[in-house]
Structure 1
């Protein structure tokens, strides 16, 4: 089963290919999605990587708080998006 991993504190210049390469050391990467600002299209400094359960656990353990592009990554299991109250 696939597990989604939150990757925070990414350098602004990081690409999906660089993140995929970093995580592929620990297993097969199913997908990488770096989040961008809707209005400007600039990177927001975080994203999500999807891997199988065993590979995800190994990647989280190995990569949390490690340097990447001059910044220490925050890597943990992604939590489901919390429901927001309706906007009027």
Structure 2
């Protein structure tokens, strides 16, 4: 599956430690400073509707993903984010 994702030119990040106040729009807004975001989604609990504290961001350009990885720290709404490339 990872090779299919790469073949289509999509590169995905796994983002942890999201504040409960962050939704899809806020996540997209933060990462669009690095370049064009194809998709940004926060995972929510189906029963409570509350954020599970993690999400995914997809870029169509590997250099944008590398730009994010090269940033030493990511800080959003009071939390330092843990960002890692999804394989």
What TM-score, normalized by structure 1, do the two folds share? 0.80
Larger CA Rg, structure 1 vs 2? 1
Equivalent residue for 2:65, pick from 48, 53, 56: 56
Structure 1 residue 16, shift from structure 2 partner: 1.3
* Structure 1 runs (4+) greater than 3 angstroms displaced: none
Structure 1 residue 6 corresponds to structure 2 residue 19: no
Tell me the residue number matched to 1:44.
52
SS in 2 for 1:25: helix
Please report the TM-score for the alignment, with normalisation by the length of structure 2: 0.81
Question: Take 1:14 and 1:40, find their aligned partners in 2: how far apart are those partners?
Answer: 15
Q: Secondary structure at the match of 2:34?
A: coil
Cα displacement (A) at 1:60: 2.2
- Offset of residue 77 of structure 1: 0.5
Count of aligned residue pairs for this structure pair: 78
* Structure 1 position 27, deviation (Å): 1.0
- Unpaired segments of 5 or more residues in structure 1? 80-88
1:35 aligns to what? 43
Query: Distance in 2 between the 1:8 and 1:25 partners?
Result: 18
The residue aligned with 1:77 is 85
